[in-house]
Amino acid sequence: MGGLLLLAMTVLATGCGTISTIGKLEDGAGAEASRMWDRWIEAEGDIAVTTTWERKVKPGVTINDLEQVLTQVAAERNMKGVGDLPLSKELEARTGKPQKFLKVYSFCTPDTAREMVDFSPHMAAYLPCRITVVERDDGLWMYTLNMDMMVRMGRKLPSPLKENAWKVRDTIWEMMERGSKGEF
């Protein structure tokens, strides 16, 4: 509700430019903005919480299991693994001390990436898609960019970019869901 009030106030305050822009947005952009607003308030202003998805990894799912699921889903959905960043191993090498697990996995669908950057060069800052696995005191967690924000809140995407962006979104969602449960 708070998001809708903010949207209404913004439209009234900024006038025609806002109305013109709203007409160029994806259907459901306002609802997604409202969800993000609510999440931002719940997180006491933590923008990272607002703009990401997270999943707690089911107890018993190992790092190896999780990595296999991510690789499997990527292969099933024609997404390419384009590297990883084993941060905890790097920190262990630098400090000589054991570290909690922290690793970033990067994935990309090159054709869709090119289409998205051609549509909006600023989208390059979001490439490639990343899933980070973080060991916390209560176990492993997975984090990634809120892909709904990417496909629902912006300017209307032309076809076939829209369909391709949804495929990427659905692939990342599936990676998070299946990875967190260890579902091969």
The distance of Cα 73 from the centroid of its chain, to the nearest Å, equals: 16
Q: Residues 143, 134: contact at Cβ < 8 Å?
A: yes
Q: What is the mean pLDDT of residues 108-119?
A: 97
Q: Residue 64 corresponds to which tokens in the numbers above? A: 């190896």
pLDDT in tens, 19-35: 677 778 888 888 999 99
Q: Token digits for 119?
A: 């549509």
* Alpha-carbon separation of residue 169 from 117, 165, 173 (angstroms): 16, 6, 6
pLDDT at residue 166, rounded to an integer: 97
Q: Is the pLDDT of residue 14 over 90?
A: no
Average pLDDT of 154-180?
96
User: Can you list the domains of the chain with their CATH numbers?
Assistant: 1-50 (no CATH), 52-181 (3.30.310.70)
pLDDT at 65: 98
Query: Higher-confidence residue: 105 or 18?
Result: 105
pLDDT category at 161 given cuts 50, 70, 90 is: very high
- The answer to whether residue 82 scores a pLDDT higher than 60 is yes
Q: Is 38 exposed, middle or buried (0-12, 13-18, 19+ CB in 10 A)?
A: middle
Q: Rounded to whole angstroms, how far apart are CA atoms 178 and 126?
A: 23
Please give the average per-residue pLDDT across 66-75, as a whole number: 98
Work out the pLDDT band at 51, boundaries 50, 70, 90: very high
